[in-house]
């Protein structure tokens, strides 16, 4: 559920006590693990952690007015959600995350980037903390741009003109005798006409 809260404090106050406790606990973990440069604030009606415009002026490609999102934390109707954008953008990060989670023995409930949980006990907190701290701002921007910026078209070398194939040469050579025989055929036809005339005169 999206909130209209303007600050994180307002967002937390809106939550029921039990849900507030869960969200506050994960928020604390994220803030303790967050690399230098990322900032916290409200984004898309959720608690967001993002690259501020001063470090990445282009912003989020879906809406450049929004800073580039890194992580979002939200209280939904039936569960809590943790959106990990790096895992969505990078197959290597996603692979690491899946393997690290599986090694803990905890059951995973995850979509493309959204981890769904109902309690902090559902999460391997050490894996979540590592996922948050793994990438610097610069590394995350590099991953983000690798999947959003169009790659320059490769320039193809101009095709070299090739000489006529042997088959075509043979065909052309074969046509020459045909055209050359036309005068011979015409002379033969004239001879036949002459013979007929001579026979009639006789």
The pLDDT tens digits of the residues spanning 111-126 come to: 888 999 999 999 999 9
Residue 168: pLDDT band with limits 50, 70, 90:
low
- Every domain of the chain and the residues it spans: 8-148
d(CA 167, CA 134): 64
Of the pLDDT bands very low, low, confident and very high (cuts 50, 70, 90), residue 99 is: very high
Task: Say if residues 142 and 68 touch (Cβ distance below 8 Å).
Answer: no
**What is the model's pLDDT at position 2?**
76
pLDDT at 164: 53
The partner residues of 83 in beta bridges, in order of sequence, read 72, 114
Indicate the pTM of the whole model.
0.73
Q: What is the dihedral of CA 54, 56, 62, 66, to 10 degrees?
A: -20
**CATH number assigned to the domain with residue range 8-148, chosen from the 4 options 3.90.1150.200, 3.40.50.2300, 3.40.50.300, 3.20.20.80:** 3.90.1150.200
β partners of residue 51: 68
Mean pLDDT value across residues 18-29: 98
Confidence of residue 156 (pLDDT cuts 50, 70, 90): low
Give the mean model confidence (pLDDT) for residues 139-167. Answer: 72
């Amino acid at each position: 559920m999206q909130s209209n809260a303007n600050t994180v404090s307002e967002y937390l106050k809106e939550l029921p006590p039990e849900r507030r406790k869960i969200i506050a606990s994960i928020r604390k973990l994220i803030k303790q693990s967050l690399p230098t440069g990322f900032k916290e604030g409200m984004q898309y009606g959720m608690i967001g952690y993002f690259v501020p415009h001063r470090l990445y002026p282009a912003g989020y490609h879906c809406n450049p007015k929004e800073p580039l999102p890194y992580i979002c934390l939200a209280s939904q109707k039936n569960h809590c959600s943790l959106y990990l954008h790096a895992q969505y953008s990078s197959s290597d990060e996603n692979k690491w995350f899946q393997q690290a989670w599986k090694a803990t023995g905890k059951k995973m409930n995850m979509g493309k980037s959204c981890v769904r949980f109902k309690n902090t006990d559902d999460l391997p907190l050490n894996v979540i903390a590592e996922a948050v701290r793994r990438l610097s701002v610069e590394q995350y921007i590099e991953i983000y741009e690798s999947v959003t910026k169009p790659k320059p078209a490769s320039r193809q070398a101009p095709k070299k003109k090739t000489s006529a194939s042997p088959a075509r040469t043979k065909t052309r050579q074969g046509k020459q005798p045909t055209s050359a025989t036309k005068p011979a055929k015409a002379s033969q036809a004239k001879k036949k006409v002459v013979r007929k005339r001579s026979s009639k005169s006789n």
